[in-house]
Amino acid sequence: MTAGLRVVPVPGLPEVRPGDDLAGMVAAACEAAIGLRDGDVVVVTQKVVSKAEGRLVDIDPEIGHRPIVEAESVRILRRRGDLIIAETEHGFVCANAGVDLSNVEAGQAALLPEDPDRSARRIRDALTHRFGVEVAVIVSDTFGRPWRRGVTDVAIGVAGLRPVIDLRGTADAFGRELQVTEVAVADELAAAAELVMGKSTGIAVAVLRGVDPAWLGDGSVVDDLVRRPDEDLFR
Amino acid sequence: MTAGLRVVPVPGLPEVRPGDDLAGMVAAACEAAIGLRDGDVVVVTQKVVSKAEGRLVDIDPEIGHRPIVEAESVRILRRRGDLIIAETEHGFVCANAGVDLSNVEAGQAALLPEDPDRSARRIRDALTHRFGVEVAVIVSDTFGRPWRRGVTDVAIGVAGLRPVIDLRGTADAFGRELQVTEVAVADELAAAAELVMGKSTGIAVAVLRGVDPAWLGDGSVVDDLVRRPDEDLFR
C-alpha cells in the first residue's frame, strides 16, 4: 500500500492564556499524540497563537467590534452589512481584517499575530530544541474567498517550509511545459489539517506526516504567499 | 495514536482517451493501490474526466486558444496580457475559463466537463456497483485565487458528499455561537488530495480515508459550493 500522507489531530492542548509557553504546550501535546519525526509539518491555529501572544482586546459594548476591525485594516475592499473585507498590515485580505470573536471569552476579540512567520519560527525552534528533529510549522487561519461559499483554512505564517512550490520548467506527462507553475502547498497543508481539527472540537494542532521533503526549507507567508498589490487583479 | 486522516495516492491509471470507461479504470487502480471501504473519498482530477468525456478541442494554430476560452466564458472578470479570469457556465470563476493546455496532446486543449457533479456521480455509481461500498467522489481542478500567490486544488464536482458543512448554531469551546459557519470541506479534501498527486507525476487519483462520516450525503458543487452572483462581493 502506498504510504501517502497522514493528517493526525493533536488533542490535549490546555486552554491557552497570554504569556503561556505555547511552543512547550504544543510540544507536549504532539509528544503524547504522535511524537515528532524529521519532516513532519505541525499546524497550529491562529487562535491559540494570538492568545499566547496576548493579542486579545476588550470590545467596548457600546460600539462593538467595528472600530477594532477598522484599526486592524490598512485598506477596506468591500462592506456589506456587518461584513467588512479588509487588507491587514501583513497583506492578508480577509473578513473583518482577521479580528475573531469565536473561541475567545465574551467581550473580547482576538487579533492576528503581529508577525505570524515569526510566531511559526518560535514554535519551530522550540520543537527542534526539544525533540532534536527538523520539522516545519504552519500557523493557520480560516478565510473566506470570493466566488465560492464556505471557508477554508490557509497558512498565515510558516517556518521551515517553502509555502509556494515553483514548477516552472517542469514538463508534464507529454513533455510540454506545465501551464500551472506555482502551487500553494502551505495553504493545501493548512486545509488538510483543518479536516481533522474542526471548528467546535477545540483541537488547535495537527501533524502532517509524509510531506514531500522538497517542500521543506526557508520560507515566509508574507514574502512568498501574499500576492503583491501590483500583481493582483482584484485589489 | 489518533487515527486521523490518510491521503493515499493512486498510481497506475493508464493514459485516458475519449470514450474510455474511466470509472472502471479508477476502480481497478484503487483496488490495486488501497482497496476501497465505506466512507472513503475518491478524488479524481478534472483532466482525466475531461479526456474520458471527450472534452478535447483542437487549437487553431493561427489564432491560438483565446477563442476557445471566450467560448467557454459567460462573463469575463479581468484580462491581463494572456491571462483571462472568466466565469464559466457552471458558475466557476477561474483562469482561462478552465481551458487547460497541460497534460494534453500538443495542439489540443481540454475543456471542463459539462456537468462535473454528474461526472462524479457516474464514477461513484460504478465504484459502488463494483465494490459494494458507499464512497464519495470529488472531481478536482486547480484554480488560482485573488490576493494569494499560487494555485490550490478545489472541488468542481461531488457525489455522495456535502461540499459545505454548515456549523450554524454550533457552540465554540466557550459556549458562544460560532462566527464561522460554513466550511468548504470539499475544497479542503481536494487540496489535501493534491498534496499526494503533484502536477508532473501523472497521478490523477487519490483516496482519503478517515473523513468525518457526517460529511457524507447528497450534495452538488454547482448548487452548494458556487457562490451565487447576488451573494458575491467580487463579481
State the Cα angle at A89 between A85 and A92, rounded to 5°.
50
Q: Is the predicted pLDDT of residue A71 greater than 70, yes or no?
A: yes
Let me know whether A99 and A209 are in one domain. Answer: no
Give the chain B residue whose CA is nearest to the CA of A101: B179
Does B65 map to a domain? yes
Q: From residue B123, how far is each of A218, B21, B42 by CA, in Å?
A: 41, 9, 9
Let me know whether B211 and B154 are in one domain. Answer: yes
Let me know whether A46 and A67 are in one domain. Answer: no
Last residue of a domain, one of B79, B112, B145: B112
* Domain of A86, in residue numbers: 56-112
Domain count, chain A: 2
Let me know whether B152 and B129 are in one domain. Answer: yes
Let me know whether A17 and A27 are in one domain. Answer: yes
Let me know whether A73 and A179 are in one domain. Answer: no
Identify the band that residue B117 occupies on the pLDDT scale cut at 50, 70 and 90. very high
Let me know whether B161 and B142 are in one domain. Answer: yes
Specify whether the CB–CB gap between A13 and A204 falls below 8 A. Answer: yes
Stretch B189-215: mean pLDDT:
91
**pLDDT for B39-63, tens place per residue?**
999 999 999 999 999 999 999 989 9
Does B72 map to a domain? yes
Task: Give the per-residue pLDDT at B184.
Answer: 97
Dig out the grid coordinates for A139 from the structure. Answer: 500557523
Residues of B in contact with A5 (CB under 8 A): 6-7, 192, 195-196
Let me know whether B120 and B214 are in one domain. Answer: yes
Compute the count of residue pairs across chains A and B with CB atoms less than 8 Å apart.
248
Cα pseudo-dihedral A161, A48, A201, B193, rounded to 10: -10
Q: What percent of chain B has pLDDT over 90?
A: 79
Q: Is the predicted pLDDT of residue B64 greater than 80, yes or no?
A: yes
In this structure, what CATH number is given to the domain that contains residue B91?
3.90.1660.10
Let me know whether A173 and A203 are in one domain. Answer: yes
Let me know whether A122 and A45 are in one domain. Answer: yes
Contact A234 B146 (CB under 8 A): yes
Identify the band that residue B1 occupies on the pLDDT scale cut at 50, 70 and 90. very low
Specify whether the CB–CB gap between A4 and B6 falls below 8 A. Answer: yes
Residues of A in contact with B221 (CB under 8 A): none
Inter-axis angle of helices B185-197 and A185-197, nearest 10: 130
Q: Is the predicted pLDDT of residue A86 greater than 60, yes or no?
A: yes
Q: Is the predicted pLDDT of residue A180 greater than 70, yes or no?
A: no
Last residue of a domain, one of B73, B93, B112: B112
Does B94 map to a domain? yes
Identify the band that residue A104 occupies on the pLDDT scale cut at 50, 70 and 90. confident
In this structure, what CATH number is given to the domain that contains residue B141?
3.30.1330.100
Separation CA A31–CA A131 (nearest Å): 9
Q: Please give the ipTM for the structure prediction.
A: 0.94
Q: Is the predicted pLDDT of residue A2 greater than 60, yes or no?
A: no
pTM, full prediction: 0.94
Let me know whether B186 and B197 are in one domain. Answer: yes
Does B232 map to a domain? no
Let me know whether B81 and B167 are in one domain. Answer: no
A219–chain B nearest CA distance, Å: 13
Q: Is the predicted pLDDT of residue A231 greater than 80, yes or no?
A: yes
Does A235 map to a domain? no
Q: What percent of chain A has pLDDT over 70?
A: 93
**pLDDT for A24-58, tens place per residue?**
999 999 999 999 999 999 999 999 999 999 999 99
Q: Please, is A2 exposed, middle or buried when counting C-beta atoms within 10 Å of its C-beta (0-12, 13-18, 19+)?
A: middle
Inter-axis angle of helices B116-131 and B22-33, nearest 10: 50
Does A232 map to a domain? no
Question: Chain B within 8 Å of A85 (Cβ-Cβ)?
Answer: yes
Does B171 map to a domain? yes
Identify the band that residue A102 occupies on the pLDDT scale cut at 50, 70 and 90. confident
Does B235 map to a domain? no
